A and B are shown apart, each in its own frame.
Chain A
Amino acid sequence: MNNEEYKGLMVFAEQREGKIHPVAYELLGKGTEIAQKLNIEVSAVVLGSDLGDEINELFYYGAEKVYSYNHPVLADFDLLNYKHNVARLINEVKPETLLIGATHLGRSLAPRIAAAVNTGLTADCTALEVGDEGNLVQIRPAFSGNILAHIRTTTRPQMATVRYKVMQKLPRDPSRKGEIIEKEPEIIESVLKIVSKESSGGVNIAEADVIVCGGRGVKSSTDFELLQDLADAFGGIVGCTRPIVDDGWMGKEHQVGFSGNTVKPKLYIAVGLSGSPQHLAGMRDSDVIVAINADPSAPIFKLADYGVVGDLYEVVPKLAAEARQRS
């Protein structure tokens, strides 16, 4: 492999039901920043079925070039065909860097692409920097988020999956234009057949701006209604700690923590949870943290911007009422 042949930065743009996942815009924002430092081009690759004007959004958020694959088979999650066509594109275009959002699809797709083109891949980055000689420094939390590893890649492209909601997208600019390159997809017959789909009922805790998260201090599953009411008052959604999921009170899509979802909301209200290291690893980057707990020595207070020491069964309803009054 001659690394000198590889030029430019490419973003894999995931789409669902014809809508581009916003992590792609964040990656274009970061990609543009890196590209300006290195004086290189930012492109995107998107696979789907009749995406129409949605493709232009990639230009509005920073792409200079978009490689577009259009085929009915590509409408849905199809790892094999996504991998096959992106790997072909890499071998043709030879980007120096390929960034992929660390969604479920991205985390499954990226390692297959990396193995197919024999290159290094770093998982779940939270920061990217330009190192000496223009190399990409990929930064990711390790060991429950207690340390940050700075990782480099010796091969090309330098591939990384990047967490959603950690990079900044550029302001949307509809006057921006770019070049669409229509690519002819090669379609492989898949041995997978989708039997049915079930949406998560709109719960996507990783994307919520406000989260009210309950732990062991909540005494019964029905008491989570109090937390739901507080969440409603702030326009947020309810999360929980791992023991609550283990007890079957809430589904895993609500779980915040190292083994659940990593979240970064504008406002995080921790209710009746002490703040185990594993829980903190999943929410420590929240903008504003509020803790409500009866035990003043609970570790969560150390991380909180505002702490209320008290009985959650008194504090939570009051807080909900106050918030409704003011908003």
Chain B
Amino acid sequence: MHIIVLAKQVPDIEKVKFLRETNRVDRKSADSEINPFDLNALEAAQQMKEQLGATVTVISMGPQSAEAVLREGIARDADRGILLYDDSFAGADTLATSYTLAAAIRKVGDFDLILCGETTVDGDTGQVGPGLAERLGVSLLPFVSELTKVSTDKVTAVTETSAGSLSVEASFPLLITGTKELNTPRLPTLKEKLRARKAEVEKWTAADLGDVDPVKLGIAGSATWVESIALPPEKKRKGEVLQGEDAASQLVAALDKAGLLKG
């Protein structure tokens, strides 16, 4: 059984700053980390490996520093880490990203299951997983919050929808995008971290992907582009502070006037 996990290096979104002067995100303002949802995907792969025996491959596309997220994967018992790193991959939108990842996965070979997070906290599109499932021609189980039953040829999983949850049985090959609820990721031990630090991370360039069309990679292969960036318009707020014993009745009177009371 072969499980592939996708991981991405992202800036710490709670700290990252936006530069008003240049309309750019200042990546130096915050440390980089592994996309938090990817830790849930890695944990799920590790649990399946423990229960069923499996080979786990972690793949990331990004700058050289993204090697760190592959070491995170190896520390969580992944057998292999592959970094897709090439100047021609840079500036990719989700269409070009899923194209590049699909080419890499074909090169890696047969797989039963691909696990990734429901979204990445930086781009926050959630489009790469489903797009990749399409490119590889496999079924997609999105927003999975629980793996109820796993075996070497299928899973039973709970998928979240806006109307409630569905329990679905799906056979491999399959791509799952996981939510935060999927599990509680464990922290690797010091020993595992040391092992991961010494492990080899494979680096693949466009030339290593074999038969790829260079115009479908990176910025050249992207169909969307950011024309401009603006600050959101601030809604004018009343900012009325109500005080004293009758604050509650003043407030209800104001809300009543605005037609916000029930009935």
How many residues of chain A are within 8 Å of chain B by beta carbon?
A: 91
Partner of A206, one of B124, B162, B174, B255: B162
Interface size class of B (residues with CB under 8 A): 35 or more
Q: Once bound together, how far apart are the Cα atoms of A158 and B128, in whole Å?
A: 17
Chain A positions near chain B (C-beta within 8 angstroms): 16, 77, 79-80, 83, 103-105, 107-112, 114-116, 118-124, 131, 137-138, 141-155, 190-201, 204, 206, 210, 233-235, 252, 259, 266-267, 277-278, 284-285, 288-290, 296, 301-310, 315, 318-319, 321-323, 325-327
B125 contacts the other chain (CB 8 A)? yes
**Known interface pairs A319-B251, A327-B261. Does A152 touch B225 (Cβ–Cβ under 8 Å)?**
yes
**Given A149-B226, A303-B237, A322-B249: A112 touches B242 (CB 8 Å cut-off):** no
Instruction: Tell whether, in the assembled complex, residue A288 and residue B255 are in contact, meaning their CB atoms are under 8 Å apart.
Output: yes
B→A interface (CB under 8 Å): 13-14, 16, 18, 23, 25, 93-95, 98, 122-135, 139-143, 156, 160-171, 174, 180-181, 222-232, 235, 237-243, 247-249, 251-256, 258, 260-263
Total residue contacts A-B, CB cutoff 8 A: 249
Residues of chain A contacted by B231 (CB below 8 angstroms): 146-148
A103 to B127, CA, bound (A): 13
**Cβ contact within 8 Å between A267 and B227:** no
- Report whether B168 and A193 are in contact in the complex, using a CB–CB cutoff of 8 Å: yes
**Is B241 a contact of A307 with CB atoms below 8 Å?**
yes
Name the distance in Å between B63's Cβ and chain A's nearest Cβ.
19
Give the top 8 A-B pairs by smallest Cβ distance, nearest first: A120-B223, A123-B125, A111-B130, A115-B134, A318-B248, A235-B262, A199-B164, A120-B224
Also in contact, A304 and B239, with CB within 8 A (given A192-B141, A195-B169, A323-B261): yes
Question: By CB atoms of chain A within 10 A, which of B130, B160, B169, B227 has the most?
Answer: B130
Q: Give bound CA distance, A173 to B226, whole Å.
A: 37
Is the pair A112, B134 in contact by a Cβ cutoff of 8 Å?
yes
Q: Is the CB of B156 within 8 A of A143?
A: no
- Nearest to B142 among chain A residues (CB) is A108
Pick from A104, A115, A192: contact of B139, CB under 8 Å: A192
Chain B residues with CB below 8 A from A302, complex form: 237, 239
